[in-house]
Amino acid sequence: MTIYQPQITWYMSASHRVTGGILAAVFYGGAIAYAIQGPLGLGLNSDALVAEIATLPTSLKLIGKFSLAFPFVYHSFNGVRHLIWDTGNALTLKGVYTTGYTVLGLSTISTLGLCLI
């Protein structure tokens, strides 16, 4: 890996894989926790989670929202980018960089919008 000069394509490819793994772990981890919480007596329920989150400071809620929303939004937009590539479009060097920066911009703007709702 030391002979390669990292470029936006390298970073975005790695980020796409990492966000996919994070999303899968959070989804399956949450589903499993809810599935086994009854027999184990963990007391995980939506009312308790909402009440607990409501007591957090606003800044911590915004950080939490951003941390949850950005991987999902980024992975979704970057997935669309890959689907566009599958059609044979935007595969030039300029197209790859343009779509890369577009994904980063749309992901950031969309995540901020979701956090402020």
Structural domain containing residue 81: 8-115
Is residue 110, in this structure, part of any structural domain at all? yes
Is residue 3, in this structure, part of any structural domain at all? no
The residues, ordered by sequence, that sit 6+ positions from 68 with a Cβ below 8 Å of its Cβ are 26
Q: Tokens 């996919």 correspond to what residue? A: 20
How many structural domains does the chain have? 1
| pLDDT confidence of residue 66 | 95
Taking only the tens of pLDDT, the chain with its 117 residues reads: 678 788 888 899 999 999 999 999 999 998 998 888 888 877 778 888 899 999 999 999 999 999 999 999 999 999 999 999 999 999 999 999 999 999 999 999 999 999 988
Going by C-alpha positions, the residue among 101, 105, 114 that lies closest to residue 8 is 101
Q: At 36, which CATH number?
A: 1.20.1300.10
Q: Inter-axis angle of helices 8-40 and 58-86, to 10 degrees?
A: 120
Q: Check whether 75 is labelled as a binding-site residue.
A: yes
